[in-house]
Amino acid sequence: MSDRALPGPGRLDSLPARAAADHPGRVAVAGVEGAELDFATLDARATAVARALAGRLDGPGTVAVASALHPDFAVAYYGAARAGQVVAVVNPLIPEIGVQHVLATSRARLAFVDAGLLPKLNAVRANLPELREVVLIGGAGQDEDGEAETLAALIAGAPDGDGWQPPAVELDDTACLQFTSGTTGLPKAVRLTHRNLTVNAAQIAAAHLLDADATTLNHLPTYHPMHLNSAVAAAATQVLCADPEPVDAVHAANAHGATHFYSLPVRLARLAADPALDGLALRTVTRIASGGSALPVEAARTLTERFGIPVFQGYGLAETSPLTHSDDPEHPVHGSVGRTVPGTECRVVDLDSGAELAAGQTGEVQLRGPQVMKGYLGGPDLAPGEWFTTGDIGRTDEQGRLFLIDRLGDVFKVDNFLVAPSEVEQVLTEHPLVREAVVVGLPDGQGYRVAGALLVLDEPGRLAEVLEQVGGELPYYQRPVHAEAVGSIPRSGNGKIQRRVLAGQFAARLGLADPTTEGSQEMAAPQFTVINTFTLKDPAGGDAFEERFLDHVQWMRAQFGFRAHQAVRAADRPEVYVNFGWWATPGDFQQVLGSDTFKAHAEEFHRIVDVQAEPSMGVLRVDGEATGDGAVLVVERFTVTEDADKFEAAYGSWIEALAGGLGHADLAKALMRPGGYTALTRWASEQDWQAARELPEYADLAALATVETQLAAPVAGTRTAPAADGA
């Protein structure tokens, strides 16, 4: 490989410009189906996109780009940056509510989407008033409604470039919004600067030994900017393999002469276990890289022995651009994510005191370096030199290698002993009959947790034998109290295990109550609230919708973190239904969205109804004394025109002033509708509700907001009185 010097900090779109200047004819990005760009073409098309955007968007703002695994992503990504826009990267695999959240939060004015994301965007387009235009990427043709033009058409219609210059930017200006995975809440928008991204691109290229002689095979479900930026910084060729099968990725690597093989841990583990492995060879690949989650040590060993190629891991987060650690690509230590990349510091601190721990001691990982984010969108900038707390548990060895143990949210206590699921999983997978294992914390009915295990076994009938043999190798508090043999371990679209979803489903099958859900009727706000409005496409289809909806909510009630729900049908518009769903945390709901069952239900719903979702956070929850079959429910959508705190206080004062007739009241604040609040109240009769509206306290709150009111009848719910529960 050559000793080409890597670029220093610069504006994000300088990466393709530098590569084009040095290697104009070298292939930059190639799809295995034939689409490819050389660096000169990539840079020229990025400039054309930038000129087109400059003519359509009045000044700087945000442009969303779906990270489709196609060369078009690179063109749109760098083109938006060159136009002086902030690039909001959108995972095309997320559900509709995620699309709405990302585009609304980023305030995107234009979105580049692929054919898979377009229907999801169209379903929520009415909730995105700031989104002006949609452009199709990924080699897709015109959409069936003719509402979205193609990237090729955008480029063809770009204004003449004579004399055009990109708008000036500062290195510490935000260049990109990268969204977190949302496992503990709604995905947060991370502000990454031009400096963050270009410095990290150089750090990755150096750590992975990338240069202009390298060819990377990206066997990933989506196009991550990490792989794009680092390869372009090094002027390396990228080959995009969208086929999910690892064996096909091996053939693609050989066909394209790849030197680096990038894949997900779950795919590499599948490759290691594939019976076809013995017949495979990697003829040109010199190293295999894994990232995103932990790669099982045994899988890494198997691939290293079979191919004679080092298999190494790295570590990073959306907040760190992303890479902070990389193992030695020539002499890796399996199980470690390696040492920090140049210019980066790492320390492990005590969970309680925050004191730095010595090598070998377990605590929370903190990071500091030039690739650490500017801050979250809407939040303060990080102070110079501030340590970033990752929420990951790990330890370092005497050589500075980092060994990750678990996410802080995944660990649980048994008899005051901290149990890290990955440590138990490692012991379980060492048994010759265990192919995969996932350990979760399950409720014990007393407000505490015990270990539960899902095991993929070569001989499922020998589950008890496996548990007995492995139990002797584990301390009592780590031993699985509950275990199931399963055919496979469900994963999200990006290959990650969703422990909270699996734990909830496991507990439901066992009939174990989650102690955090008990007494939900008395649970105080705030709690995450999802308000879905369903409008029948056929007004006569109410019975069919309600039957399907009741099946769906029965399933939802069994999911981890579910609290309660109330579905109603509008009195004056019987084609309209509204469902309020209450969840312990946004992360619990976000995890459920990723399940195959939820996706299947959503697909069925969209054939019957149009859906509008409004994620919110609970502000107030009150239970009254009124009960009975003749309940009247009222949905009120407020838009606050004055101070929000005053409105919330006024609403609380009104509830306190009520003399009777109230069954319950829930007030939630919209996360994506400025000034938006929605209230659901249940009354013994319409007369009680009308009397409550005549109180002076209601006039006080009404003076602070506009309101749309809808009377409704209950359809189903766990928030209603038992006599009114239709489910």
Rounded to an integer, the average pLDDT of 412-435 is 86
**Given pLDDT bands bounded at 50, 70 and 90, which one contains residue 520?**
very low
Give the position of tokens 């069919």: 544
For residue 439, what are the contacts with CB-CB under 8 A and spacing of at least 6? Answer: 419, 421, 422, 424, 425, 428, 451, 452, 453, 480
Give the position of tokens 């030994």: 209
Give the position of tokens 């190798």: 473
Q: What integer best gives the mean pLDDT of the chain?
A: 89
Give the position of tokens 């709405």: 100
CA distance 322 to 641: 40
| Residue 297 burial (10 A CB sphere; 0-12, 13-18, 19+) | middle
CA distance 430 to 451: 18
Residue 501 has pLDDT above 80, yes or no: no
pLDDT digit string, tens, across residues 217-274: 999 999 999 999 999 999 999 999 999 999 999 999 999 999 999 999 889 989 999 9
CA distance 357 to 346: 11
pLDDT digit string, tens, across residues 359-390: 999 999 999 999 999 999 999 999 989 999 99
Helix (H, G, I), strand (E, B) or coil at 345: strand
677 touches 638 (CB < 8 A): yes
How does strand 189-193 pair with strand 215-219? unpaired
**Given pLDDT bands bounded at 50, 70 and 90, which one contains residue 192?**
very high
CA distance 52 to 46: 10
- Residue 426's pLDDT is 86
- Residue 443's pLDDT is 85
For residue 115, report the phi and psi dihedrals to the nearest 5 degrees.
Answer: -65, -30
Helix (H, G, I), strand (E, B) or coil at 215: strand
Give the DSSP letter of residue 356: B
- Residue 181's pLDDT is 74
**Given pLDDT bands bounded at 50, 70 and 90, which one contains residue 492?**
low
Longest dimension (CA), the chain: 83
- Residue 493's pLDDT is 58
| Residue 416 burial (10 A CB sphere; 0-12, 13-18, 19+) | exposed
Tokens of 57: 């968007």
- Residue 292's pLDDT is 81
Whether residue 714 has a cis bond before it, omega within 30° of 0: no
CA distance 387 to 242: 37
For residue 125, what are the contacts with CB-CB under 8 A and spacing of at least 6? Answer: 131
Q: Is CATH 3.30.300.30 correct for 412-510?
A: yes
Residue 158 has pLDDT above 70, yes or no: yes
**DSSP per-residue string spanning 220-266:** -SS--HHHHHHHHHTT-EEEE-----HHHHHHHHHHHT-SEEEE-HH
Alpha helices in 524-675 (DSSP H): 542-557, 586-593, 596-608, 644-657
Residue 557 has pLDDT above 60, yes or no: yes
- Residue 727's pLDDT is 38
Rounded to an integer, the average pLDDT of 96-108 is 92
Rounded to an integer, the average pLDDT of 61-81 is 97
- Domain boundaries in the chain? 412-510, 520-724
Helix (H) or strand (E) holding 709: strand 705-717
Helix (H, G, I), strand (E, B) or coil at 29: strand
Give the position of tokens 């004056």: 572
pLDDT digit string, tens, across residues 667-721: 999 988 889 999 999 999 899 999 999 999 999 999 999 999 999 999 999 887 5
For residue 81, what are the contacts with CB-CB under 8 A and spacing of at least 6? Answer: 11, 12, 13, 87, 175, 176, 194
- Residue 453's pLDDT is 96
CA distance 416 to 694: 54
Residue 611 has pLDDT above 60, yes or no: yes
CA distance 566 to 557: 12
235 touches 211 (CB < 8 A): yes
Residue 591 has pLDDT above 80, yes or no: no
Residue 14 has pLDDT above 90, yes or no: yes
For residue 105, what are the contacts with CB-CB under 8 A and spacing of at least 6? Answer: 189, 377, 672
What is 520-724's CATH number? 3.30.70.100
* Sign of the Cα pseudo-torsion (584, 588, 592, 594, in order): positive
